[in-house]
Amino acid sequence: MSVITEKVPVTRAASGETAARRPVAGARIRRRPHGQNNRAGYTFLLPWLIGFIGLTAGPMIASLYLSFTEYNLFSPPEWIGLDNYARLFADPRFQQSAVVTLTYVLIGTPVKLVVSLAVAMLLNNNRRGQSFYRSAFYVPSLVGASVAIAIVWRAMFIDDGVVDRIGAFFGIDWGGWVGDPNYTIYMFILLAAWQFGAPMVIFLAGLKDIPAELYEAADMDGAGRWRKFVSITLPTLSPVLFFNLLLEMINAFQVFGSAFIISNGSGGPAGSTLFYTLYLYQRGFEDQQLGYASALAWVLLVVIGIVTAIFFRSSKMWVHYGGDAR
């Protein structure tokens, strides 16, 4: 079988335009009946289907069931109804983990995105070295989630460590952040901000798509920097912003590795680094309270679901799709 290459006029237009290129009469048209496509479709989809049912949907239902039971792994699960959920809401550690996680999501994510947007705007020019900087700034995103960096990060924030010394240089005596429950969360926020590279690259791509004419027109109208930012950049970027914000938030809810390493699995000191996932891990896999841990998981799912729904709803108000002149 040969693949026809040059004879066919390849139109580099968006997909869907092939209707204009109907084959000439007499040629064999293998138009598949719907049934055949179904078979092909599901054959190709089979791996994903197996994965979806076996590793996603199935477990989801199972964990919902488990959340109504008491299960310590050694004996069969015991139905206890809503007890886990009742316990959850009165549980001081659950509350701690909720506060820690929400603080991280609500402060860390915006900080990260603001930094990445700012740097993207800094880089959005045609100067030499721009692609070098872009790549260099991206490096932390590659390694930021690793155990290695978590270890280094912790080592930087101990008593007399790097950050302590830097503070001392500016006359601030904040000691080691690792041991101070009031400061520990900022270690993680800084770690998040440090990884601004990935959203930055996306923002940069988005910025480059904004036609220069818009800015020029604004210039001629006498618009200042800020005005241009608010009225041109932000709205045009809003889909990208939405995408970034949503993904970063979902990720922020699921932080585990760095929390585990920096706190040595304890979520301490005094529960100040007890991220939700860490708490779930402790309850489920260390304390062997798998029913309770399942309840924790479902609460998180519901919260994320609500947050996502609110997000999508609100997006109608501030996200502008396809509004660019291109």
Partner 1 sequence: MSTVTTRTLVVPDEKKRARIPQRKRADRGRRLAGSVLFHVVSIAVLIVLLYPAAWMVLSAFKPSSDIVGNVSLIPDTWTLENFTQVFEGIAGMSFWRFAWNSLVLAVLTVVGVCLSSSVTAYAFARIDFRGRGIWFALMIGTLLLPFHVVIIPQYIVFNQLHLINTFTPLLIGRFLATEAFFVFLLVQFMRSVPRDLDEAARIDGAGHLRIFTTIMLPLMRPALVTCSIFAFLGSWNDFFGPLLYLKSPDLYPLPIALRLYIDSTSASNFGAQMAMAVLSLLPVLLFFLIFQRYIVGGIATSGLKG
Partner 2 sequence: MRYTRTIGVVAAAGVALGALAGCSSDESAATDEGGSVELTVTWWGNESRIEKYEKSFEIFEEEHPGVEITGVPSDYGSYWTSRSTEGAARELPDLMQFDGNLTKYAHNGLLLDASEYVGDTIDFTNVDENIVKGAQVDGKQFGIPFGVGGMSLFVNKALVEKAGVEMLDVDYTWDELNAWIGEITDAGITNDDGQPVYGGNDHGAATQLFYQWLVQKGIEPWDGETPGFSQQDIVDYLALEDEGLANGAFYPVDRTTQVAPLDGFSMNESASSLTYASFYGRYAPEVGGENIVMLPVPSGESGEKAMWFGPSNYAIGANTEHPEEATELADFLARDARVAEIFGTDRGIMVDTETRAGFEPQEGTGDAEVLAYVDSVEQYATAVTPQTPENFASYEAEWLRLNEERMYGNITAEEFAEQWWTEAGL
Contact 148, 156 (CB under 8 A): no
130 forms part of the interface with partner 2 (CB under 8 A): no
Q: Pick from 264, 309, 310, 323 the residue near partner 2 by CB under 8 A.
A: 264
Q: Is 134 exposed, middle or buried (0-12, 13-18, 19+ CB in 10 A)?
A: middle
Measured CA to CA in angstroms, residue 28 lies from 32, 35, 38, 224 at distances of: 12, 19, 21, 62
285 forms part of the interface with partner 2 (CB under 8 A): yes
Q: Dihedrals φ, ψ of 116, to 5°? A: -65, -35
Unique residue bearing structure tokens 């199972």: 62
Q: Pick from 174, 183, 194, 229 the residue near partner 1 by CB under 8 A.
A: 194
147 forms part of the interface with partner 2 (CB under 8 A): no
Unique residue bearing structure tokens 């603080």: 103
- Considering CB distances under 5 to 8 angstroms, the limit depending on partner class, which of partner 2, partner 1, none binds residue 108? none
Query: Which residue stretch of 93-101, 102-110, 180-188, 198-206 sits at the interface with partner 1 (rule: CB under 8 A)?
Result: 198-206
266 forms part of the interface with partner 2 (CB under 8 A): yes
Compare residues 79 and 312 and give the one whose CB is closer to partner 1. 312
Compare residues 54 and 265 and give the one whose CB is closer to partner 2. 265
Compare residues 117 and 259 and give the one whose CB is closer to partner 2. 259
| Pairing of the two strands 69-70 and 78-79 | antiparallel
Smallest distance from partner 2 to CB 270, Å: 5
Compare residues 17 and 159 and give the one whose CB is closer to partner 2. 159
d(CA 114, CA 248): 12
Q: Binding string to partner 2 for residues 79 to 118, with x set by CB under 8 A, is what?
A: -------------x--------------------------
d(CA 100, CA 70): 26
Pick out residues in 170-189 that bind partner 2 (CB under 8 A).
Answer: 175-176, 178-181
Smallest distance from partner 1 to CB 136, Å: 6
74 forms part of the interface with partner 2 (CB under 8 A): yes
The residue type found at 249 is M
Pick out residues in 20-59 that bind partner 2 (CB under 8 A).
Answer: none
Pick out residues in 53-82 that bind partner 1 (CB under 8 A).
Answer: 54-56, 58-60, 62-64, 66, 73
d(CA 264, CA 149): 14
291 forms part of the interface with partner 2 (CB under 8 A): no
Pick out residues in 124-143 that bind partner 1 (CB under 8 A).
Answer: 125-127, 129, 133-140, 142-143
The residue type found at 215 is Y
d(CA 255, CA 268): 15
Query: Which residue stretch of 48-56, 79-87, 89-97, 178-186 sits at the interface with partner 1 (rule: CB under 8 A)?
Result: 48-56
Tokens of 73: 């792994």
- Considering CB distances under 5 to 8 angstroms, the limit depending on partner class, which of partner 1, partner 2, none binds residue 298? partner 1
Long-range contacts of 244-251 (CB under 8 A, 24+ apart): 244/113, 244/116, 244/199, 244/202, 244/203, 245/109, 245/113, 245/311, 246/308, 246/311, 248/109, 248/112, 248/113, 248/199, 249/105, 249/109, 249/307, 249/311, 250/304, 250/308
Q: Residue 285 contacts by C-beta under 8 Å, 6 or more apart in sequence?
A: 293
- Considering CB distances under 5 to 8 angstroms, the limit depending on partner class, which of partner 1, partner 2, none binds residue 204? partner 1
Helix (H, G, I), strand (E, B) or coil at 321: coil
Q: Binding string to partner 1 for residues 242 to 281, with x set by CB under 8 A, is what?
A: xx--xx--x--xx-xx--xx--x------------x--xx
Q: Dihedrals φ, ψ of 70, to 5°? A: -110, 125
Chain residues binding partner 2 by CB under 8 A are: 73-75, 92, 158-159, 175-176, 178-181, 264-266, 268-271, 285-288
